[in-house]
Amino acid sequence: MKRAAVYTRVSTVDQHPEMQLNDLRQMAAQRGYEIVAEYTDKISGTKARRLGLDQMMTDARRGRFDVVLVWASDRIARSVKHFLDVLDELNRTGVEYVSFRENIDTGGPLGRAIIIIVGAVAELERNLIVERVRAGMRRARLDGQRIGRTPLVLDSAAIQQDRQRGLSIRQIAREHSVSTATVQRVLHRHAPTTQEHAA
């Protein structure tokens, strides 16, 4: 028996999700699902943060259920992109998605085809974001802006002198605002010079 989670949403606090719940409970009974969790949000679909949906996605990642039942896809997502993100994440966590009104079931052959399309769209979106970031960085470089951390400027001679004066690696690192590994690397690189001075 598959473990099911039910998600319902109404737009205002004076609306009630009972109609959605009744339809979804009946569908679960017809399919032989055991409802192990019910999540409800009383909030506009355009709001980014929804406690019920957020908790459901957290429980999905924890493997608390096998399938999510919703009354309609517009109940679960605030936009097409958000809907694709939710479906993509449910698919990655191995949770099936069933919509009562649209008759979408990602557990069946057509549903699996939908998931493939959703996954391709989600991957395309991620690639477009990466490409936009890279294009922005290229444009910034052409404008003369520095990308990334400022290169570390080391006074190797001063580090060697501090070492010869008997300062510890940690003291030198603190004095020059660098890591102890950086100090050791400088001393190692200039080891022959240090030995010559010692002689």
Residues noted as catalytic: 11
What residue type is assigned to position 153 of the chain?
V
Of 135, 178, 138, 124, nearest in space to 156 by CA: 178
What whole-number distance in Å separates Cα of residue 3 and Cα of residue 34?
Answer: 5
Residue appearing with tokens 């989670």: 5
Please check whether residue 153 is in contact with residue 186, taking contact to mean a CB–CB distance below 8 angstroms: no
Q: For residues 57 and 39, give the distance between their C-alpha atoms in angstroms, rounded to a whole number.
A: 10
